[in-house]
Amino acid sequence: MENLSDMTIEKFQKLFTGFTKAYGTFEINKSNNDKKKKGRALTVRKKINFEHYKKHLYGEQGIGVVPIKDDNHNIVFCALDIDDYNLPQEDLLKRINESKIPFLTCLSKSGGYHLYLFFVEDTSAQLIQKPLRKIAKYLGYPNCEIFPKQEKRLKPSNGETEQIGNWINLPYFSGNNSTRTCVQLEKHLELEDFLHHAEKSKVSLSQLIKLSNEIQLDENLDENTSFNKLLKSEGRNSYLFKYGCSLSKRGIEDIEISKKIKIKNIEANANDHPNFAQGPLENREISIIIKQVLKYQPGDLDDDTLEEMNKKHAVVMLQGKIFVLNKDFDPSINTKLVTFSTFTDFKNRYCNKYSFLDGSNKSLAQCWLSSSKRKTYDGLIFDPEKNHKNFYNLYQGLAVVPKKGKWNKFRDHINNVLAASDEELGSYIIHWMADAIQNPTDRPGVALVLKGKQGTGKGIFARGFGYLFGNHFLHLFHGSHLTGHFNSHLKDKLMIFADEAV
């Protein structure tokens, strides 16, 4: 690994500046026969600094950045995330050139493409969404992910710390030795060249809007249109990838697949594909194609899509019937919810989402439901004491880790305000609180009723104590949310604050 100057690392850091109070990374577990690395994505709630970017470029620890900056409004970069492993690289670059959008196209960690766009100044994350969606549609991927995914980070829910948002893995992990480099017409840019091109290609918001307005969309283009249908021909990349996938379907070993792809690249001619008249692909490009093929599993979703779906959904058995468990958020009561859908409702939810599988676009919902790797549970439990194998535990733990400290002000508030200096009553409230924390599975049979004028501190107590319970605390303002017929939001709550709701 060549040495990188601090100035180079600083340029890279400035280019990919986003939210500085957290970052993403990928923790690699043991690989399968040292071929395909497995791991899990992690969000680290610590400040990101120069050293993190340095370790990334030196290949020590990869990082991902949330594009929305600390002001929760502006960005200096954005990206389109295209996870189509069957995508012909030459045709993608051609289509980008035709759009006149100065994207820098980088290979992603999963084997797809990240199309980066950089801005000359702080730019509204909200205002770039519409033009980018139009551009994505023009490229043939109307449903691809756009980073930033959010226009703003959500405000903290009750009992939660600050919301972070979605992060994107950065390119050039391990510098010039990276497989995540910027590609231009099959040429890979060195890190310094990439930084130079990124600086030159920066645009303003007004320029982006102007360029997107000049794009003429095909009237027949809809959300089911695949990239290949938009193009007259496919490239050598796609040809070799499909060839490798056909070998994988036949059950051929990984080593043999790698050898056959390399041989095919050398021996193929214009009769196999017109573009081979230009000669074989470069070795680095072949390495990327082999990596994509070895990740491919016939009839299953790619790892990133599967991971994203498993974060939000699971199949669960409830009273002898099968449902899809959904991890949702209800803004009206500002809390996370677990809801349940029939298979039909779940398919309808994703009826406009597709995944490229076995040579064609298929329903994302059906692909996930049919996947051998989907998350599945035998049932539901609510057990604060322990988890049970193959059961989804609705209890997600407290929001804080117990730590000895001083709480004089809060205790004085309980004794002198809530208990009106009644020592016995103050002691009862504190013991009631302790029992709720220490014995969460027991129902005390007693609810505290706080009566007093507005501003006396009833809410301070309830919200302060409720914060400890995290997502198992609920602050209600309407009586119907507590006693109404639709009360599924109460199923995993340990403490409820009915604020003038009864």
pLDDT at 324 over 90: yes
pLDDT of residue 152: 86
What number is the average pLDDT over the span 120-149?
91
pLDDT of residue 153: 79
Nearest to 309 by CA among 368, 367, 242: 368
pLDDT of residue 158: 52
Question: Any idea what DSSP says for residue 417?
Answer: I
Secondary structure class of 249 (helix, strand, coil): helix
pLDDT of residue 226: 37
pLDDT of 244-259, one tens digit each? 877 876 778 889 999 9
Q: How many helices (H) and strands (E) does the chain have?
A: 17, 20
Instruction: State both tokens at 32.
Output: 């399968």
pLDDT of residue 465: 87
Q: Which of the four pLDDT bands, split at 50, 70 and 90, describes residue 219? A: very low
Lowest mean pLDDT among 73-87, 349-363, 476-490: 476-490
Q: Which of the four pLDDT bands, split at 50, 70 and 90, describes residue 161? A: low
Q: How far apart are CA 126 and CA 129, in angstroms?
A: 6
In this prediction the pTM is 0.47
Q: Which of the four pLDDT bands, split at 50, 70 and 90, describes residue 232? A: very low
Q: Is the Cβ–Cβ distance between 244 and 86 less than 8 Å?
A: no
Instruction: State both tokens at 482.
Output: 């507590």
Q: Is the Cβ–Cβ distance between 109 and 173 less than 8 Å?
A: yes
* Exposure string for 330-348, b = 16+ CB within 10 A, e = fewer: eeebebbebeebeeeebbe
* More confident site: 40 or 262: 262
pLDDT of residue 128: 95
H-helix or E-strand containing 135? helix 129-139
pLDDT of residue 35: 37
Contacts of 101 (CB under 8 A, 6+ apart): 117, 135, 208, 211, 212
Q: How far apart are CA 180 and CA 174, in angstroms?
A: 9
What number is the average pLDDT over the span 294-323?
81
pLDDT of residue 240: 84
Lowest mean pLDDT among 15-24, 165-174, 322-331, 478-487: 478-487
- The DSSP bridge partners found for residue 321 are 318
Lowest mean pLDDT among 314-328, 329-343, 391-405: 329-343
Q: How far apart are CA 286 and CA 209, in angstroms?
A: 37
What number is the average pLDDT over the span 218-231?
38
pLDDT at 91 over 80: no
pLDDT of residue 299: 59
Nearest to 315 by CA among 305, 307, 325: 325
pLDDT at 480 over 90: no
H-helix or E-strand containing 460? helix 458-466
Highest mean pLDDT among 34-38, 229-233, 395-399, 403-407: 403-407
Neighbours of 242 (CB within 10 A): 15
Q: What is the mean pLDDT of the chain?
A: 82
What number is the average pLDDT over the span 192-218?
90
Q: How far apart are CA 177 and CA 181, in angstroms?
A: 9
Q: How far apart are CA 436 and CA 91, in angstroms?
A: 62
Instruction: State both tokens at 411.
Output: 């205790």
pLDDT at 492 over 90: no
Instruction: State both tokens at 470.
Output: 């995290």
H-helix or E-strand containing 380? strand 379-381
Highest mean pLDDT among 185-189, 206-210, 396-400: 206-210
Torsion-angle region of residue 100: left (phi > 0), alpha (psi -120 to 50) or beta? left
pLDDT of residue 481: 59
First to last CA, the chain: 67
Q: Is the Cβ–Cβ distance between 312 and 326 less than 8 Å?
A: yes
Highest mean pLDDT among 29-43, 87-101, 325-339, 407-421: 407-421
Beta strands in 161-282 (DSSP E): 168-169, 182-184, 187-189
What number is the average pLDDT over the span 9-25?
96
pLDDT at 64 over 50: yes
Contacts of 360 (CB under 8 A, 6+ apart): 226
What number is the average pLDDT over the span 83-101?
80
pLDDT at 460 over 70: yes
Q: How far apart are CA 158 and CA 474, in angstroms?
A: 7
Question: What is the chain's length?
Answer: 502
Secondary structure class of 302 (helix, strand, coil): coil
Q: Which of the four pLDDT bands, split at 50, 70 and 90, describes residue 193? A: very high
Cis peptide bond prior to 148, omega within 30° of 0: yes
pLDDT at 478 over 70: no
